[in-house]
Amino acid sequence: MKILVTGSKGQLGQSLVRLLEARNDVEFIALDRDKLDITNKQEVDSVVVAFSPDVVINAAAYTAVDKAESETKLAAAINRDGPSFLAEAAQKVGAALLHISTDYVFDGKNAEPYSEQDQTAPQSVYGQTKLEGELAVASACERHIILRTAWVFSEYGNNFVKTMLRLAETHDNLNIVGDQLGGPTYALDIAKALVLISDQITTGRDVEYGTYHFSGLPHVSWYEFARAIFSAAEKQTLIAKRPVLKSITTAEYPTAATRPANSKLNVQKIFNHFEIEASDWQRALNDLSAYQNNG
């Protein structure tokens, strides 16, 4: 199996590299923007045709949600144009494209977890450009999997878990938003899901292409997630004392981009088709020392 990974230095990209390096039956190249600018069509065509992968996993994205409100062209180039070029190149060489998307394609006003069939209605530039990327992928590459996820965290890069651990060193009190709900998702679990899907594609199993949701359970608020992080950190003696947490509303913590109040994703379809279970984010907090030791 030959796999091309984009966005190799991001949270998901590094998790994918970690998994693929342990596989003797996979030939892969993992490229970040310094080696492959996905917004450059000629560059994308050249790399994809030269390597001729069985599967392209696009883990590259513009994820600075608030900055996207002012950097609209850059966000669109990376989240819409790049996936479009990758999809066209994948179609050209007969590869499947696995593309990562987001809960931000929804408006967050549903009471129940969002299914793949629910109406999209992004409320931010980030969400809009990610939706445009989904549409571009679906129209340009027949063999595509769009994987929507949410609240991603890992030992790598910047994320909510690492921010909380850092703030615990300097703050006795923290205000955390309590009226946004979602499923924290461990990046290594996303990587495992993508590799499993890739295995099924390349071994000739009957794969239903299209859009899937994958995120963590149980669903919690950011406040509840923070509480779980500090509880785990305290048990692991990584912090001397947990900060006192106060649950606040979204209105009390204004941001440039509108966040969905409900980021809960229904993950039944991916289990039905691939037997992939929801990310166990609580288990992923069992060794928080790894989150302190990675940049």
Vertex 168 angle, CA 165 and 173, to 5°: 140
Is 292 within a domain?
Answer: no
Per-residue pLDDT tens for 38-73?
Answer: 999 999 999 999 999 999 999 999 999 999 999 999
Is 79 within a domain?
Answer: yes
- Residue 251 token pair: 């209105």
Is 55 within a domain?
Answer: yes
pLDDT average, residue stretch 200-218: 95
Is the pLDDT score of 212 beyond 90? Answer: yes
Is the pLDDT score of 84 beyond 80? Answer: yes
Report the pLDDT value the prediction gives residue 113, as an integer from 0 to 100: 98
- Residue 205 token pair: 């199993």
| DSSP category for residue 265 | B
Inter-CA distances, 13 with 59, 60, 89, Å = 6, 8, 20
d(CA 276, CA 269): 9
Report the pLDDT value the prediction gives residue 51, as an integer from 0 to 100: 98
pLDDT band at 204 (very low <50, low <70, confident <90, very high): confident
d(CA 261, CA 150): 13
Is 235 within a domain?
Answer: no
Select which of 104, 114, 126, 291 is catalytic. Answer: 126
- Residue 169 token pair: 């060193």
Is 23 within a domain?
Answer: yes
A 10 A CB-CB count for 268 gives: 13
> Is residue 291 annotated as part of the catalytic site, yes or no?
no
In three-state secondary structure terms, 3 is strand
- Residue 292 token pair: 């302190």
Q: What is the CATH number of the domain that holds 123?
A: 3.40.50.720
Is 70 within a domain?
Answer: yes
pLDDT average, residue stretch 270-286: 97
Burial class (CB in 10 A: 0-12, 13-18, 19+), 120: middle
Residues 6+ apart with CB under 8 A from 171: 243
Report the mean per-residue pLDDT for the chain: 96
For the chain, what percent of residues have pLDDT higher than 70? Answer: 99
pLDDT average, residue stretch 164-168: 95
Residue 110's nearest CA partner among 123, 95, 96 is 123
Q: In total, how many domains does the chain have? A: 1
Per-residue pLDDT tens for 122-148?
Answer: 999 999 999 999 999 999 999 999 999
- Residue 26 token pair: 């996979």
Is 12 within a domain?
Answer: yes
Is 277 within a domain?
Answer: yes
pLDDT average, residue stretch 198-222: 96
Asked whether the whole model's pTM tops 0.95, one would answer yes
The residue segments making up the domain with residue 99 are 2-159+184-218+264-281
